[in-house]
């Protein structure tokens, strides 16, 4: 069995996000003792690949980096945030108004309905967001948003990998930090309105700081979850 390593594992969903992040924080990827891997697009691929990589690396900590859409006016487009928890929308029964979550059906244990995420001590309140909601399909319009918020009213942003990565980390008992840059408002499918490059630059800036601090905060127990 592989021994647990002290270095963190950085996971990035897509090649596009990886290329942008290498441009903005590639220096810390190169200098720090950090493993960087693509985890794949969507919750299923992300969970499967993350589980494989956790078995391979046995990291001390996982950082998931990438973009997300916001439901909340509190989260600014082109800014990056660390999330406190992640839940999943789309697994259950039905669709639209008839959709019922796995927890509502009694099939999903409460400790798997929502995973807590690790927040570094250095993260300020202005860099912290509450619930990230992972969806199998991103919101296309206000009706999609309303359906998701009806089930998860405290959700502040939407991604497609966070829950899968957090589920794999929970199985291995490895802390997971999710940093997402807000590229757009949920439901806006016009990419001309998106600020993907600026959002990923903000992720890179925040991730560079967190990864540079990781050694000292980890050794002193400076992570909260």
Q: Mind listing the pLDDT tens digit for each residue in 44-72?
A: 999 999 999 999 999 999 999 999 999 99
CA distance 77 to 18: 19
Q: What is the mean pLDDT of residues 195-208?
A: 95
CA trace torsion 141, 166, 42, 151 (10° rounding):
-30
Q: Which two tokens stand for residue 28?
A: 């810390």
90 exposure class (CB count in 10 Å sphere: 0-12, 13-18, 19+): middle
The whole-number pLDDT of residue 33 equals 77
State the pLDDT confidence band at 95, using cuts at 50, 70 and 90.
confident
CA distance 41 to 64: 12
The whole-number pLDDT of residue 1 equals 45
- CATH superfamily membership of 8-215: Nucleoside phosphorylase domain (3.40.50.1580)
The residue ranges of every structural domain in the chain are 8-215
pTM: 0.92
Does position 132 have pLDDT exceeding 60, yes or no? Answer: yes
């Amino acid at each position: 069995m592989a021994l647990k390593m002290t270095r963190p594992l950085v996971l990035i969903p897509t090649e596009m996000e990886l290329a942008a992040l290498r441009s903005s924080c590639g220096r810390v990827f190169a200098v720090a003792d950090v493993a960087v891997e693509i985890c794949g697009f969507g919750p299923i691929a992300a969970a499967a690949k993350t589980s494989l990589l956790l078995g391979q690396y046995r990291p001390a900590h996982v950082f998931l980096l990438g973009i997300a859409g916001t439901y909340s006016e509190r989260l600014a487009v082109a800014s990056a945030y660390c999330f406190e928890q992640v839940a999943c929308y789309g697994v259950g029964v039905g669709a639209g108004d008839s959709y019922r979550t796995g927890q509502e059906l009694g099939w999903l244990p409460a400790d798997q309905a929502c995973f807590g995420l690790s927040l570094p001590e250095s993260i300020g309140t202005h860099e912290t967001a509450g619930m990230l909601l992972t969806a199998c399909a991103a919101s296309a319009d206000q009706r999609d948003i309303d359906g998701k918020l009806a089930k998860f009213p405290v959700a502040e942003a939407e991604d497609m990998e966070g829950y899968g990565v957090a589920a794999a980390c929970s199985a291995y008992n490895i802390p997971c930090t999710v940093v997402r840059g807000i590229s757009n408002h949920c439901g806006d499918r016009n990419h001309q309105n998106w600020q993907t490059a600026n959002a990923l630059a903000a992720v890179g800036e925040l991730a560079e700081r967190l990864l540079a601090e990781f050694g000292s905060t980890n050794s002193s127990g400076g992570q909260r979850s």
